[in-house]
A and B are shown apart, each in its own frame.
Chain A
């Protein structure tokens, strides 16, 4: 790279690729080669602003950063003119698609404190040199050279780091328990089986900064005295698996893992394998069914040996804590929940993506200030936190601070950090049914209450959504929820009713509307709604063309009509209509 050249970073995480970053990268690379500076274009991971993908970030020699969002080939041409060829006229030429407006990206980033995502979107995940240039593996060296394992554990304990996988068990305590085990053979495992629908921070970290997780795992192995470690990663994340495998090889070639054998194991698509005892079964090649605890894996885990299992995000915090000190980490957050947490913002929100915020920030701040409010100016109804084990928090409780204990009081959990925002067009009963359907399908079948109880609950919710609910259905739902949560062995079963219980607590009137009035207030449940053409119709036939089942007759210049017998409530007509003439009742 020539001195003084701009560095052009292109985000090629899964979501970048999905929104078409590959052609942009190819184009810019060709442009750079033609200009004789092939080094200026760098492929990086995801910087978290998924709503603006594909993203191109230009870092000028004086450190100024220009961010281009939703980059198309046309924008890429502009970027090439301005930053690669340094065409001096380009500063004055008209820009159709200029950089991301400063306030938008500033608002998105201002409230964040990046610890886990420190390097995401800034370094090339496939280059160990990039990571080393950012103080990579320094923490590991420091541990090995200057600290005893007990000191490492003390530092982690002091930082107040708690497990980021959902349960929030103090990491330092877990390590100390593992260290105390007499067995000389121990294992460390990184849990990257991020099964929560709606959470993707582990994927982003593994894809964009794999060395960081490896370093955290190596430090854990050092603290524990383990010689072997595993990374259990979902098979649905092929890019993450590839990057981690490459990173292991690079680090091994540099001699960082001389005393440690790391192996990547791909999951096979079972949500329950995120539970630690099930994960161990899966590592051993068996059906991933949880078993009774105690003994905890820390006493008797993989191959019957003491095993420490930590979430990706937890491990990603570890190098930062060692480098900056436990106090620096503990300064973020609230007294019981230290540090920062990454959330995956998604749903009906303007600026979705990954955000890393200190604990204690309120839900409202996340949704309105970082996320930029609700899409299409609709009304904020609720957030769903923690995936299928979590719950819905209504908009009126949006001032709840995000920390383990405050969230637990509302009935939801922090979970792995999926934060799905719902607006007034989302039916709460449908959401509860969606999650129950998920947990029902993912139940391993070991405990009767989880296997059959969730099935019965799902049947009740199906009935409610179909408008055929029975008088005592809501009470029955409550009783079953109680039974399931009390009589199940693992976290999956115990928390499976959470989406139902929290929504029943905060949105009971919606359940009652489904049951008594056979009416879906949000207009979502297919059996309870009807599509009608209003007098706004100008007879343009767009809806008739869009209808896949031919329920709208093709009659130009006449008010259209929906044939209710044929209509499948697919919503295509409403989306096609330009005049707001289709209403849902």
Chain B
């Protein structure tokens, strides 16, 4: 939030400094010829009338002082302007970064149309606080407390929260006879489970044999660029990208799945458009 305040302050300072500089410039351009004329007139008069000499002297002093003052003021204001502008840029960048992240590639334009980041921004802002645990209570009441249903529990939790929150896991171990160790072991063994929050949409790119020979790597790379998912991460804004072993649609390779909807016969150049199409259909 402080970033926002600083942006306002710095922005105001920039505007004020620019206004002062412009005003000074206007004043000086308007004033200078008049002053020159005045001094010239007085100099003419001094030639004929020595009494005016003091007058000329004071007038010259006044003009010099005014110019010097303006110059030093402009100097200060310029420095303020530079400082304020840099402050403005850094803080504004931070705010923009919160909202939409670095936009690397022009097609991303298509994605933000789908109600971009406020949802995620607010999610990240309140990531620490409470996870609603009543779901766990209901789940245990329905499914029982046996060790055997550990995987089913974890699947249900993952489906509900889209990841396995620590609070949910510890709550589950309190309510059932499953130990925290078993939950940790099981949830880390199976690739389906994730311990960090996922984006709103999951894009699964198939990396099965058929998809591999049909160029799944290139498709995945292109989608990464399209969704602006950085190297080493799997989530950017609303999208989480997953590589899966096989989606079982090998004759349509390469294949991707967006939240349970599959599309096939992709090429690197068509992948982004196909993904946008699937999103459209999902919205309907």
Contact = CB atoms under 8 A, between A and B. Distances in A.
B208 A265 contact: no
A194 B261 CA distance: 20
Contact of B210 (A53, A194, A198): A198
Contacts of B207: 197
Nearest to A282: B151
A524 to B, nearest CB: 9
A91 to B, nearest CB: 32
Interface in A226-283: 235-238, 265-266, 268-271, 282-283
A268 B152 CA distance: 9
Given A548-B225, A568-B221, A266 B155 contact: yes
Given A15-B251, A285-B182, A287-B185, A268 B151 contact: yes
Nearest to A549: B225
A270 B192 CA distance: 8
Interface stretch (A116-124, A291-299, A418-426): A418-426
B190 A434 contact: no
B260 A284 contact: no
B262 A14 contact: yes
A50 B252 contact: yes
A422 B213 contact: yes
Nearest to B209: A198
Most buried by A among B185, B192, B208, B247: B208
B282 to A, nearest CB: 13
A286 B154 CA distance: 12
Nearest to A15: B249
Given A426-B213, A576-B269, A235 B155 contact: yes
Given A284-B148, A345-B251, A346-B210, A572 B218 contact: yes
A527 interface: no
A329 to B, nearest CB: 27
Given A269-B191, A270-B190, A575-B267, A285 B150 contact: yes
A261 to B, nearest CB: 14
Interface string A82-113: 00000000000000000000000000000000
B199 interface: no
B252 A286 contact: no
Given A285-B149, A575-B268, A197 B245 contact: yes
Given A288-B189, A418-B209, A18 B249 contact: yes
Contacts of A53: 251-252
Contacts of B264: 15, 18-19
A196 B211 CA distance: 13
A352 B148 contact: no
B251 A352 contact: yes
A230 to B, nearest CB: 11
A557 B185 CA distance: 61
Interface string A210-229: 00000000000000000000
B248 interface: yes
Most buried by B among A17, A270, A287, A387: A287
A268 B210 contact: no
A570 B219 CA distance: 9
A418 B245 contact: no
Interface in B224-260: 225, 244-253, 255, 260
Interface string A175-208: 0000000000000000000111111100110000
B192 A269 contact: yes
Contacts of B213: 347-348, 420, 422, 426, 431
B50 to A, nearest CB: 77
Nearest to B226: A548
A25 interface: no
A359 interface: no
Interface residues of B, number: 52
Given A282-B151, A285-B178, A199 B246 contact: yes
Contact of B182 (A195, A236, A268, A286): A286
B252 A15 contact: yes
Nearest to B244: A236
B201 interface: no
Contacts of B147: 284-285
Contacts of B93: none
Contact of B190 (A15, A50, A265, A288): A288
A252 to B, nearest CB: 20
Nearest to A302: B148
Contacts of A197: 207-212, 245-246
Contacts of B247: 14, 236
B6 interface: no
A444 interface: yes
Given A19-B252, A434-B212, A271 B218 contact: no
A438 B218 contact: no
B189 A444 contact: yes
Contact of B253 (A199, A346, A572): A346
A571 B219 CA distance: 10
A384 interface: yes
A346 B246 CA distance: 12
A51 interface: yes
A198 B251 CA distance: 9
Contacts of A237: 248
Contacts of A270: 189-191
A357 interface: no
Interface in A411-431: 418, 420, 422, 426, 431
A418 B248 contact: no
Given A19-B265, A282-B151, A285-B150, A200 B260 contact: no
Contacts of B152: 265-266, 285
A353 interface: yes
Most buried by B among A271, A286, A422, A435: A286
A575 B269 contact: yes
A350 B230 CA distance: 37
Contact of A198 (B105, B155, B246): B246
A353 B251 contact: yes
Nearest to B190: A268
A453 B81 CA distance: 63
A197 B207 CA distance: 8
16 contacts: A17-B262, A18-B264, A50-B250, A196-B246, A197-B210, A265-B151, A269-B190, A269-B192, A347-B250, A384-B209, A420-B250, A431-B209, A431-B213, A434-B209, A571-B215, A575-B269
Given A270-B189, A285-B178, A548-B268, 8 more contacts: A17-B261, A197-B209, A200-B249, A270-B190, A435-B209, A548-B225, A571-B268, A575-B268
Interface of B: 105, 146-152, 154-155, 178, 182, 185-186, 189-193, 207-215, 218, 221-222, 225, 244-253, 255, 260-265, 267-269
Minimum-distance CB pairs A-B, first 7? A352-B251, A197-B208, A285-B150, A346-B250, A268-B190, A50-B251, A198-B209
Interface of A: 14-15, 17-19, 50-51, 53, 194-200, 203-204, 235-238, 265-266, 268-271, 282-289, 344-348, 352-353, 384, 387, 418, 420, 422, 426, 431, 434-435, 438, 442, 444, 546, 548, 568, 570-572, 575-576
